[in-house]
Amino acid sequence: MEWKIEIRKRKGVFDPLGEGVKKDILDLGISGVKKVNVSQVFIISGDITESDIKRIAGELLTDSITEEYVVNNERRTTNDDQRKSRAKSRGERRIIEIAYNPGVMDPVEESARKAIKDMGIYGVKSLRTEKKYFIEGKITENDFRNICEKLLYNKVIQHAVKEHSARCIKHSNGYKFKLVIVNLLGADDKRLTKISRDGQLFLNLKEMAQIKNHFKKLGRNPTDCELETIAQTWSEHCGHKTFRGIIEYEEDGKRKIIDNLLKNTIMKVTSELKKPWCVSVFKDNAGVIRFDEDDNICFKVETHNHPSALEPYGGAGTGIGGVIRDILGVGLGAKPIMNTDVFCFGLPDTPRKNVPKGMLHPKRIMKGVVGGVRDYGNRMGIPTANGAVLFDERYIGNPLVYCGTVGIMPKDKSFKAAKCGDLIVAVGGRTGRDGIHGATFSSGELTHESEAVSGGAVQIGNPITEKKLTNTLLKGRDRNLYTAVTDCGAGGFSSAVGEMGEDLGAEVDLEKAPLKYQGLSYTEIWISEAQERMVLSVPRENLKELMDIFKKEDVEAVVVGCFTSNKRLKLRYNGNVVCDLDMEFLHGGIPRFERKAVWSKPSHRECDTKDKKDFTQDLLKILSSWNVCSKEWVIRQYDHEVQGQSVLKPLVGIENDGPGDASIIRPKFNSKKGIIISNGINPRFGFIDPYWMAASCIDEALRQVIAVGGSLNKTALLDNFCWGNTDKPDRLGSLVRASFGCYDIAKGYGVPFISGKDSLNNEYSVRGESIAIPGTLLISAISVMDDVTNAVTMDLKEKGNLLYIIGETKNEMGGSHYNLINNCVGNNAPTVDAKKGLKIFNRISEATRLGLLRACHDLSEGGIACALAEMAFSGGFGIEAELKEAPYEAKSSKAKRDSIILFSESNTRFIAEVRKQDKNKFENLMKGIPIGLIGQVSGKKDLKIYGLSGKKIVDISLDKLKEAWQKPLRW
């Protein structure tokens, strides 16, 4: 028997969800909707009596204060409603019911079934949820369709329930084993290419030929499972083959061969610096550094771009879920203590007609992504305390979603090694058809057909499964019950078992994996990227104790195989061998990429920086530009304080709403030792020169660490490259150039890289033309702070205090926001002099350690003008400042102009607030460093800036500055 229970708000009860939808409809440009109501629908089938269903509905599913329910076992309501809605004067009230597509995880199912069991009702066989929308008002049929498709559901994961349509589409009635052999040996080049494309393997011809040769030597064809395993392992996502390949690089007519870009730039910094506190770098799931005598901390940032483009909510949620599992899988498992999220979107005010076919509007993507991170991160109980949101029209077809997690673990749990004979235990979520081909999918370009072809790669996560997994896994770790652990990320079991058994060998019986539903083939089980799963290697004698831990907290764990010593990957399905691969070939057989890369400096239109009498309007424009404006709407949706460890929150100041430079947490309540997390990202400088973009990103991330009171002593970096298709020499050329920048500047500052990731092929084809994202480098910094009570925030603190600029301003307007609001890019991107910069950083660290700084803010987008404005309105104090006191690079003094000093985004600069009584102490400490006393904190509520001539060039109240800054994203 199938029951349908519909839960509606009682009459007169405010429906905030409906209100939200109403607002979003207005956002679509559709007016006329008077009211929206949302009902939750539960479809429960099984052997349940009517009285039990009424108990379930009344006691469990309905909130008797605000809701009421309707039970119907014949689904008459739907038809009735629809008939009624048709009858109701053609479109006064419309109804649509949205259900998940078959195979998509419905997170409510598991918990609701548990609750029904708790009530002593055991007959439930399946439970699905739907959402029912009632839309009242005069709208056209076309409007209604638009609302449904653009707002209420995403066909990648959901569908509208049709009248009389079967509600529960069966996945398939079980699976009958049939071994699939792929005829590679008989395939010519054309055929090999076709096999790769049709199978969504994303392997190039050279790779396919290599595989063919391997099997030729073996005298047999591969199974589908073998081919898939190789494709996963060799995917760009898992293998970083571009970075490790051979590149012929050309710049200004000069050529050189780079054999492994990663080793020659990013990793070289670390190996040359030899920091004793780097515990594990570029080996494990994340970089690990020393925290204190007992513990290490680790940090990893991942991207989840392609899934987020198609299904923003699910894509971002599973992105954060994935990077959390990375941290759970570092060493023997670390406890996640903080998340960081950085997003790049198209412009939220993009006209709808400019959104390419098959793509969602940037605003919808943004809302979905933020919602996904919110719901997953908050449910995991990990504070999302750092991040950034950037906008550029070229992200419209390909948004970027960077998700990062910090973890902490005991020193002696920082390494892993599976042993021969250990059992392979799969733990956490069940395996389903979700996420098939995620790893290879992310290695290709998006087209408007992507959603149809790769819909399976998109999933909805279930954070509670991961939360349970986290708690129990760490218990098992603390009792030393397993020897190794890896997350099932891209590639699923295939990559997890393949990685753990690389030096050993492994055997897996695929039919043992717990499935969400019947009907999966052996290959689907093997490569499914269903979420919330981890693989452990467990010595046989520990199995019972470990299984008990999982069982006690309702976490599913199953032995699926064991590690061997024969260096072979052997998979069986009910005893039939479906894969038997040589580990050496699997991990070492990939032909190295040989690619060409070219970089030549582009030439952009120079901007007119002619001086004006008044720059107030320019300042307001920059403050309210998408990149600079307040991100409070995003930040407040994240629980950034759970775990109780926050010391500096993302928002600071007298009204808790100013833009803090970096976040600090203290992971132990009884210790003052803390962790600073910051990030640097500025794709606009990359338009001019990726080298200086990389330099600026590193400088910015470090600047923020310094600004909040940290030091470079125990600071490490992560790199995340998101680039276009690096098969194209110009894209690869800019990647190479950015990598050079990373090496030079990180080395110069003495700061090692500890982990990184690249996401290439971020392009979008529209009408045959491929649009690449701007090459976007995210640099994340992690720093250990000895005493968090020395922390400094950027908001002005007291009237009468002195304001200093530290660091030189240069004529570096290229890529600046001043140029952006004047519709040009320019050609002189900000540079970095690490030798001078290091001195500045170290002195400021000393000043904060001595308690000399009342406030400190790093100068970035919008330069001095923006920083002064932000410090003023965050602190609630006015400023009077004179530009002629700002240190200015001597050689370009001819170009000394108000506009440049106000808005240049030169690196390694800060504004500091110092008490009058500390003036001498501060100035003595800063000897040899370019500083300028530019003004004072005033008692008035406005910002006054005097130009080089001594005339006032900015004069505006704090309220107006703050309003300009807050308004754009006050959604």
Partner 1 sequence: MKKPRVIVLRTAGTNCDNETQAAFKMAGADSELVHINELARDEKFLKNFQILAIPGGFTYGDDIASGKILANEIKYKLNADLKNFINSGKLVIGICNGFQALVKAGILPGINSGTIESTLSFNDSGSFIDKWVDLRTTNDERRPKEVPSEVEGRTTKCVWAKNLPETIYLPIAHGEGKFIPRDNDVLNQLRKNKQIVFKYIDNPNGSIDDIAGICDTTGRVLGMMPHPERHVLGTQHPRWTREGLKERGDGFMIFKNGVDYVRMRM
Task: Please tell me the distance from the alpha carbon of residue 207 to that of residue 586, in angstroms, as a whole number.
Answer: 12
Instruction: Please give the torsion angle defined by the CA atoms of residues 708, 711, 717 and 720, in that order, rounded to the nearest 10 degrees.
Output: 20
Among 209, 654, 838, 948, binds partner 1 (CB under 8 A): 654
| Rounded distance between C-alpha atoms, residue 904 and residue 699, angstroms | 15
Q: Residue 955: which residues within 8 A CB-CB, separation 6 or more?
A: 614, 616, 942, 943, 944, 945
646 contacts partner 1 (rule: CB under 8 A): yes
Residue 289: CB minimum distance to partner 1, A? 22
Nearer to partner 1, 16 or 588 (CB): 16
Q: Is residue 304 annotated as a catalytic residue, yes or no?
A: yes
Q: What are phi and psi of 550, to 5 degrees?
A: -65, -45
Nearest CB to partner 1, comparing residues 59 and 449:
59
463 near partner 1 (CB under 8 A): yes
- Using rule CB under 8 A, residue 51 touches partner 1: no
Structural contact between residues 47 and 30, judged by C-beta atoms closer than 8 angstroms: no
Region of 26-34, 316-324, 374-382, 697-705 interacting with partner 1 (CB under 8 A): 374-382
Three-state secondary-structure class, residue 559: strand
Which DSSP helix (H) or strand (E) runs through 596?
strand 594-599
E strands in 243-347: 246-251, 254-259, 278-280, 287-290, 295-303, 335-345
Stretch that binds partner 1, among 117-125, 344-352, 408-416, 769-777 (CB under 8 A): 117-125
306 is an active site residue: no
Residue 140 in contact with partner 1, rule: CB under 8 A: no
Out of 34, 86, 114, 352, name the contact with partner 1 by CB under 8 A. 114
How far, in Å, CA of 185 to CA of 172, rounded? 32
Which of 464, 558, 838, 925 is close enough to bind partner 1 by CB under 8 A?
A: 464
Diameter of the chain measured on Cα atoms: 88
Say whether residue 638 binds partner 1 (CB under 8 A). yes
Give the other-Cβ count within 10 Å of 271's Cβ.
12
Long-range contacts at 175-180 (CB < 8 A, ≥ 24 apart): 175/518, 175/519, 175/520, 175/521, 177/522, 177/573, 177/574, 177/576, 179/223, 179/576, 179/578, 180/223, 180/224, 180/225, 180/523
Cα distance from N-terminal residue to C-terminal residue, the chain: 44
Residue 795 interacts with partner 1 (CB under 8 A): yes or no: yes
Q: Is 873 in the site for partner 1 (CB under 8 A)?
A: no
C-beta of 447 vs 645, nearer to partner 1: 645
Indicate whether 780 belongs to the interface with partner 1 (CB under 8 A): no
Which window, 104-112, 172-180, 530-538, 613-621, contacts partner 1 (CB under 8 A)? Answer: 104-112
Q: Shortest gap between Cβ of 391 and partner 1 (angstroms)?
A: 21
Please identify which residue in 95, 112, 859, 943 interacts with partner 1, judged by CB under 8 A: 112
Structure token pair of residue 392: 């550029």
Helix (H) or strand (E) holding 842: helix 834-849
Using CB under 8 A, pick the residue from 268, 364, 477, 640 that binds partner 1. 640
Stretch that binds partner 1, among 152-160, 315-323, 462-470, 616-624 (CB under 8 A): 462-470
Q: What type of residue is 307?
A: P
Catalytic residue among 164, 214, 240, 304: 304
Residue 792 makes contact with partner 1 by CB under 8 A: yes
Buried b (16+ CB within 10 A) or exposed e, 482-503: bbbbbbbbbbbbbbbbbbbbbe
* 913 belongs to the binding site for partner 1 (CB under 8 A): no
Q: Which stretch binds partner 1 (CB under 8 A): 153-161, 518-526, 630-638, 890-898?
A: 630-638
Residues 712-771 interacting with partner 1 (rule: CB under 8 A): none
Question: In sequence order, what are the beta bridge partners of 295?
Answer: 410
Q: Using CB under 8 A, which of 636, 673, 728, 836 touches partner 1?
A: 636
Regarding 28 and contact with partner 1 (CB under 8 A), the answer is: no
Q: Measured from the CB atom, is 603 or 669 closer to partner 1?
A: 669
Cβ partners under 8 Å of residue 275, min gap 6: 716, 752
- Cα(781)–Cα(719) distance, rounded to whole angstroms? 9
Q: Which of 91, 107, 733, 748 binds partner 1 (CB under 8 A)?
A: 107
Residue 63 contacts partner 1 per CB under 8 A:
yes
Residue 399, interface with partner 1 (CB under 8 A)? no
Closest approach, Cβ 388 to partner 1, in A, equals 18
Please, what is the minimum distance in Å from the beta carbon of residue 797 to partner 1?
6
CA 880 to chain centre: 40
**Binding residues among 8-27 for partner 1 as defined by CB under 8 A:** 14, 16-17, 19-20
Rule CB under 8 A: say whether 101 interacts with partner 1.
no
Which contacts qualify for 549-555: CB closer than 8 Å, 24 or more apart? 549/472, 549/475, 549/476, 549/479, 549/481, 550/427, 550/472, 550/476, 552/472, 553/468, 553/471, 553/472, 554/114, 554/468, 555/427, 555/428, 555/468, 555/469, 555/472
Residue nearer to partner 1 on the CB measure, 105 or 597: 105
Selected range binding partner 1 among 460-468, 720-728, 756-764, 916-924, rule: CB under 8 A = 460-468
Q: Strands 335-345 and 384-391: what pairing?
A: parallel
Please give, one letter per residue, the 3-state secondary structure of 390-418. EECHHHCCCCEEEEEEEEEEEHHHCCCCC
> Does residue 908 belong to the site contacting partner 1 (CB under 8 A)?
no
Choose the stretch contacting partner 1; rule: CB under 8 A; options: 84-92, 523-531, 648-656, 751-759.
648-656
Q: At what angle do helices 690-707 and 729-749 cross, to 10 degrees?
A: 40
Q: Are 498 and 590 in contact (CB under 8 A)?
A: no
Contact with partner 1 (CB under 8 A): which of 309, 457, 651, 777?
Answer: 651
The catalytic residue among 164, 171, 214, 237 is: 237
Position among 237, 379, 587, 817 found at the interface with partner 1 (CB under 8 A): 379
When the beta carbons of 384 and 726 are compared against partner 1, the nearer one is 384
User: Residue 690 in contact with residue 775, Cβ under 8 Å?
Assistant: yes
Of 286 and 792, CB closest to partner 1 = 792
Regarding 671 and contact with partner 1 (CB under 8 A), the answer is no
**What is each CA distance from 571 to 208, 226, 434, 575, 585, in whole angstroms?**
22, 9, 21, 9, 16
Residue from 278, 380, 515, 738 that binds partner 1 (CB under 8 A)?
Answer: 380
Q: 557 vs 688, which CB is nearer to partner 1?
A: 557
Specify whether the CB–CB gap between 399 and 361 falls below 8 A: no
Tell me: does residue 666 bind partner 1 (CB under 8 A).
Answer: yes
In 3D, which of 535, 595, 617, 477 has the Cα closest to residue 956? 617
Task: Scan residues 550-589 and list those touching partner 1 (CB under 8 A).
Answer: 552-554
Taking CB under 8 A as the rule, does residue 639 contact partner 1? yes
Strand 506-509 relative to strand 568-573, pairing: parallel
Shortest gap between Cβ of 552 and partner 1 (angstroms)? 6
| Residue ranges in 277-336 that form contacts with partner 1 under rule CB under 8 A | none
Q: Which of residues 469-528 bind partner 1 (CB under 8 A)?
A: 471
Residues labelled catalytic: 237, 304
Binding interface with partner 1 (CB under 8 A): 14, 16-17, 19-20, 59-61, 63-66, 107-108, 111-112, 114-115, 118-120, 374, 378-381, 462-464, 467-468, 471, 552-554, 635-649, 651-654, 656, 666, 669, 788-789, 791-793, 795, 797, 875
